[in-house]
Amino acid sequence: MSQHAWETVVQAFPQILGKGLTMTIPLTLISFAIAMVIAVVVAMVQFAKIPVLTAICRFYIWVIRGTPLLVQLYVIFFGLPSIGINVDAFPAAVLVFSINEGAYGAETIRGALESVPAGQLEAGRCVGLSYLQIMWHIILPQAFRTAFPTLGNELISMVKDTSLAANITVTEMFFQTQRIAGRTYETMALYLEVAVIYLLFSTVLSLLQKAGEKRLAAYGRQL
């Protein structure tokens, strides 16, 4: 690698990592947290088979999972202003990532809810618990353990997917890298560098995921 490339990479490192820590990670965590709230509600509505709401949830999941994330970002950030609704880049990205992951997460959690044996719900009813109490104390905790590995993978995917937010001017890691590349022309070195930083983030999250799975397994042993 040339002297210039090295210097660029070294100089760029704190700038790219900085954006990672101040933009990519917060964008991911905030979006994922909101997505989990959406996912639990949407999954529970379907699990409880609440008439009209279930149909609405199915429609939401169908639309979100059937369209590209990038297109969703464009609709919100570039589309809405044309009908008079302006959203800043960062909140627009949070909105889209939350709604997007909400749909995938809902399917994961619904599957996990349905894998809890019916006898658990019946036993809850027989000791005099209400439906919501049974969900809260019995069904959701068990479903969460089942869903945890998949949700962990979805979180890791989301870290990588936030790079798409560069397209709507969110100055996250990848956007920052593109900027520096435009200035220095060290495209290969810089894009490899940002790839390595994404890899670093994913690896840390995978390790956390493994540790989390271990803890869940220790607590209560295998279901």
Q: Would you tell me which residues interact with another protein (CB under 8 A)?
A: 117, 119-120, 122-130, 133, 137-138, 141-142, 145, 220-223
Residue among 14 and 128 whose Cβ is closer to another protein? 128
Residue among 40 and 164 whose Cβ is closer to another protein? 40
Burial class (CB in 10 A: 0-12, 13-18, 19+), 102: buried
CB of 49 to another protein, least distance (A): 15
Residue among 65 and 125 whose Cβ is closer to another protein? 125
Report the length, in residues, of the chain.
223
Tokens coding 51:
């008439």
Residue among 110 and 145 whose Cβ is closer to another protein? 145
CB of 144 to another protein, least distance (A): 9
Burial class (CB in 10 A: 0-12, 13-18, 19+), 202: middle
Distances from the Cα of 94 to the Cα of 120, 128, 180, angstroms? 36, 41, 25
CB of 145 to another protein, least distance (A): 7
Q: Angle, to 10 degrees, between the axis of helix 187-218 and the axis of helix 173-184? A: 160
CB of 47 to another protein, least distance (A): 17
